[in-house]
Amino acid sequence: MNITFNNVSFKYIDKYILKNASFSITDSDKIGIIGVNGTGKTTLLKLILEIEKPLSGEIMKTGGIRINYLPQDPIFSIDKSLLEIVMEKTCKDYPILEYQAKSILSKMGFNDYNITTKNMSGGQLKRIALAQVLVTPCDILILDEPTNHLDNDLIIWLEKYLQKWKKGLLMVTHDRYFLQRVCNKMMELDFGNIYLYDANYELFLELKEQRLVNEALREKKIQAFLKSERNWITRGVEARRTKSKSRIERFNELSKIEFNEQKTMELSSISTRLGKKLISIKDGSKAFINKELFSYFNLDLNKSDIIGIVGENGCGKTTLFKIIMGIESLDSGQIIKGETLNIGYLPQHLELIDPEIRVIDYIKEEKNQIETLDGIISASSLLESFLFTKELQYSKVKMLSGGEKRRLQLVRVLINNPNILLFDEPTNDLDLYTLEILEDYIMKFKGPVLVISHDRYFLDKICNKLLVFNNGYIEETTLSFSEYLDSLEPIKTVKEETNYKNSNKMPASLRNELNKLNEDMPLLENKINILKEDLKKETTDYKKIMEISKEIEENEMLYEKMMERFFELEAIKEEYIK
């Protein structure tokens, strides 16, 4: 099974996304797609899915290839239950069994399978979409930012799942650990060109560096040649009579080459003066409805703090930010804030930006002129330094990619020259290039930074402290995030470690029990469906109706018990795989 691009070009307004691109993807490839925001990573996926059509060239797929797609922002009907959504692509040839659908929904944190998606957040919709694409059989899995909105436990689970995935995988992600551990190839989009590397992320960085060096040398040679030839061609009339026709044609051909000018982006702002008193929380407690988020929490913020705030979704991380900003208050305890604080807050959600507003107006709503390290500049000039061209500045926000919207939010935060930063999932939707610039900015920032994130690489690189939300308690640690996660692993004795290395799999009794459940549950599910059909046919025989109803009830109870045991064994199986 493969997908082949043959001289494919695609243009968006006046910008080329692809220029005569040719490459193939097979069902044994695990490819990570990399490129600056706005270069067309999502558009490339849409071309494969035939949501977009190429300007020229052809895209060929082998017959019968099945593709599952996880979009960046999934949308579902609010009339269907979660179980119906996950099972909607079941068919006779590739059936999805109910227990499989329930199992994957449970893994995604949903235990009520009959609720609808009405009033669900973007993060919840993403997890439902992920459940749907993982449970539906396919030959190639296409994932657009799969780790966005997932907590760390689920990211690690998905990483292991995809490591074991035996079919094709094509994904856009900013998670560098994820790329390194899952992908065996990298595809880079750069100025309309496609570069395919037979490498994991670490090796890709080395190969890309070598490619850029070689390209720079080639461009330098061509430019030197063109300068020499231009001087030759512009000599006097007498010399032109003897000019070689082939040499002139060669000059004209080389003159058509477009040299890519790599525009660079640098985050810079002048932070306002920060007094001695920053933020202190004394014995702070906060609950939401009947859930205690944290209690007796103490914090004394220092100027040099770069603090990562981690924990499962819904544990209260964003609520802590709202308390610091004065949007919400503590239930008990005290928060003391310095008078000179100027907080810059980057929210998690892109939907907070009006899609109909123009890019330039979104910034001008805040300020027309901005003080930077290089002096006072206009809002338009600042946007240009963040790679928003003049044309893009007068486009509506809805025309931007997810990463460009995230970068725009970042500009609006920095124009007020904050002296303390609160970033809520800042890495979502950002490309790797912008991420590295953001990391460098945070580490050089002259004030404290608090970051909510599930990005392990990002947290490991920038943070000197962690605040970990854990069952109503906030733990402070100076471990890196990876070190903290390693510390949670159960300590094995020497004997246990030896046994693990020898077997590396579940005991036969448990493995056989799980296999038996995989065989029996579909049969029982089918039996229940047949009984329900029989019940529909009975309209007059009351005794028969009662007998069938009782049998359905007994079988459904048995099915629920089998499912509970199935989940238990699946959890045990994952422990042996670790």
Instruction: Tell me: do 476 and 514 sit in the same domain.
Output: no
Counting the structural domains of the chain, the total is 5
What does pLDDT average to over the chain? 84
Look at residue 261 and tell me if it is in a domain.
no
Instruction: Tell me: do 241 and 378 sit in the same domain.
Output: no
Look at residue 264 and tell me if it is in a domain.
no
Q: 28-32, 305-309, 342-346, 437-441: which range is least confident on average?
A: 437-441
Task: Please state, in angstroms and rounded to a whole number, the distance separating the CA atoms of residues 283 and 297.
Answer: 5
> pTM for the whole thing?
0.73
Instruction: Say yes or no to pLDDT of 233 above 70.
Output: no
Structure tokens at 440: 């460098």
Q: 231-245, 274-288, 317-331: which range is least confident on average?
A: 231-245
Q: In terms of residue numbers, what domain contains 250?
A: 205-255
Look at residue 268 and tell me if it is in a domain.
no
Q: What is the dihedral of CA 458, 462, 463, 468, to 10 degrees?
A: -10
Instruction: Tell me: do 120 and 165 sit in the same domain.
Output: no
Q: 447-461, 488-502, 544-558: which range is least confident on average?
A: 488-502
Higher pLDDT, 97 or 283: 283
pLDDT band for position 496 (50/70/90)? Answer: very low
Instruction: Tell me: do 94 and 118 sit in the same domain.
Output: yes
Can you give the pLDDT at residue 265?
57
pLDDT band for position 498 (50/70/90)? Answer: very low
Which residues in 441-497 belong to E strands, given as ranges?
A: 449-452, 465-470, 473-477
Can you give the pLDDT at residue 428?
84
Instruction: Tell me: do 182 and 158 sit in the same domain.
Output: yes
| Residue where one domain finishes, among candidates 93, 118, 137 | 137
Q: What is the pLDDT of residues 386-433, one digit of tens each?
A: 778 888 899 999 888 888 888 888 888 888 888 899 999 998 888 888
Instruction: Say yes or no to pLDDT of 475 above 90.
Output: yes
Look at residue 489 and tell me if it is in a domain.
no
Instruction: Tell me: do 127 and 148 sit in the same domain.
Output: no
Task: Please state, in angstroms and rounded to a whole number, the distance separating the CA atoms of residues 117 and 78.
Answer: 5
Instruction: Say yes or no to pLDDT of 519 above 90.
Output: no
Instruction: Tell me: do 46 and 175 sit in the same domain.
Output: yes
Look at residue 552 and tell me if it is in a domain.
yes
Higher pLDDT, 142 or 574: 142
For residue 303, give every residue at least 6 positions away whose Cβ sits within 8 Å of its Cβ, in sequence order, or none: 274, 278, 446, 447, 448
Instruction: Say yes or no to pLDDT of 248 above 50.
Output: yes
Can you give the pLDDT at residue 323?
95
Average pLDDT over residues 146-166: 89
Pairing of strands 168-172, 473-477: unpaired
Look at residue 272 and tell me if it is in a domain.
no
- DSSP codes joined into one string, 328-381: S--SEEEEEE-TT--EEEE-S-GGGS-TTSBHHHHHHTT-SEEEETTEEEEHHH
Can you give the pLDDT at residue 111?
86
Instruction: Tell me: do 239 and 290 sit in the same domain.
Output: no
Q: What is the pLDDT of residues 426-457, one digit of tens each?
A: 988 888 888 888 888 888 888 899 999 999 99
pLDDT band for position 558 (50/70/90)? Answer: confident
228: helix, strand or coil? helix
Look at residue 52 and tell me if it is in a domain.
yes
Instruction: Say yes or no to pLDDT of 492 above 50.
Output: no
pLDDT band for position 87 (50/70/90)? Answer: very high
Can you give the pLDDT at residue 505?
65
Can you give the pLDDT at residue 388?
86
Q: What is the pLDDT of residues 295-332, one digit of tens each?
A: 999 999 999 999 999 998 888 999 999 999 999 999 99
Specify whether the CB–CB gap between 348 and 428 falls below 8 A. Answer: yes
Task: Please state, in angstroms and rounded to a whole number, the distance separating the CA atoms of residues 455 and 214.
Answer: 33
Instruction: Tell me: do 325 and 412 sit in the same domain.
Output: yes
Q: What is the pLDDT of residues 455-472, one digit of tens each?
A: 999 999 999 999 999 888
Instruction: Say yes or no to pLDDT of 525 above 90.
Output: no
Instruction: Say yes or no to pLDDT of 272 above 80.
Output: no
Task: Please state, in angstroms and rounded to a whole number, the distance separating the CA atoms of residues 471 and 25.
Answer: 45
153: helix, strand or coil? helix
Look at residue 225 and tell me if it is in a domain.
yes
Residue type, 387: L
| Residue where one domain finishes, among candidates 137, 153, 172 | 137
Task: Please state, in angstroms and rounded to a whole number, the distance separating the CA atoms of residues 435 and 420.
Answer: 19
Instruction: Tell me: do 235 and 125 sit in the same domain.
Output: no
Instruction: Tell me: do 209 and 194 sit in the same domain.
Output: no
| Residue where one domain finishes, among candidates 457, 481, 505 | 481
Can you give the pLDDT at residue 229?
62
**CATH code of residue 57:** 3.40.50.300
Instruction: Tell me: do 517 and 384 sit in the same domain.
Output: no
pLDDT band for position 168 (50/70/90)? Answer: very high
Percentage with pLDDT > 90 across the chain: 36
Instruction: Say yes or no to pLDDT of 477 above 70.
Output: yes
Instruction: Say yes or no to pLDDT of 501 above 60.
Output: no
pLDDT band for position 237 (50/70/90)? Answer: very low
